[in-house]
């Protein structure tokens, strides 16, 4: 964003005042960051609705078996995305959902399955007249969950941010 200033003896005070105002606006970006945070929450919602952007996520086993969209069974993760301005130049975008990092980054490794009681309703391919219960001991299970990044700034988001910053520095409203 080029800035052109013509300074002469007559306008030196005005130019000095305008420069101080630009420095003030650039040193505290909280208003533009708050506006961009709202934009980013909407962008992440669009990523969930699209099933991944710019590239689609690998479909989950649940979505393949039961239908529906990957990462949107209850929409808890999608609805937990928040943005907060934490300083004059800092915007934090994220979630407090514990399993979010596994879906964002993926996971491959062993997981401990705790001991539990399983209700058995079928045996040898046939339905049982009355269910029976079996205790399953604690065991290890190999888990592979592919990364499905949802906290992603798209190219168009960066273009929006650039426009917001330019308007902010120029002293214009959104």
Query: 99-131 pLDDT, tens per residue?
Result: 999 999 999 999 999 999 999 999 999 999 999
The answer to whether residue 5 is domain-embedded is: no
Please tell me whether residues 84 and 134 are part of one structural domain: no
The larger pLDDT score, comparing residue 21 to residue 159, is at 159
- What are 42-71's pLDDT values in tens digits? 999 999 999 999 999 999 999 999 999 999
Confidence (pLDDT) at 173: 57
Query: What integer best gives the mean pLDDT of the chain?
Result: 90
C-alpha to C-alpha distance for 131 and 64, rounded to whole angstroms: 28
Measure the CA–CA gap between 25 and 160, rounded to whole angstroms. Answer: 18
Domain boundaries, position 41: 12-104+149-170
Kindly state whether residue 71 falls inside one of the protein's structural domains. yes
Q: Kindly state whether residues 139 and 157 are assigned to the same domain.
A: no
N-terminal to C-terminal alpha carbon distance within the chain: 17
Longest CA–CA span in the chain (Å) reads: 99
Q: Are 29 and 70 in a shared domain?
A: yes
């Amino acid at each position: 964003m080029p800035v052109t200033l013509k300074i002469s003896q007559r306008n030196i005070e005005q130019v000095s005042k305008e420069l101080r105002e630009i420095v003030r606006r650039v040193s505290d970006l909280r208003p533009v960051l708050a506006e961009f945070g709202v934009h980013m929450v909407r962008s992440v919602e669009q990523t969930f609705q699209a099933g991944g952007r710019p590239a689609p996520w690998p479909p989950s086993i649940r979505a393949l078996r039961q239908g529906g969209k990957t990462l949107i069974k209850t929409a808890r993760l999608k609805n937990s995305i928040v943005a907060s301005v934490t300083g004059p130049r800092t915007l934090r975008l994220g979630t407090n959902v514990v399993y979010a990092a596994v879906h964002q980054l993926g996971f491959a490794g062993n997981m401990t399955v705790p001991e539990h009681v399983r209700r058995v309703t079928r045996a040898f391919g046939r339905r049982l007249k009355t269910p029976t219960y079996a205790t399953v001991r604690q065991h290890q299970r190999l888990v592979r969950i592919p990364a499905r990044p949802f906290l992603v700034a798209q190219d168009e988001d960066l273009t929006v941010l650039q426009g917001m910053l330019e308007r902010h520095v120029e002293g214009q409203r959104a």
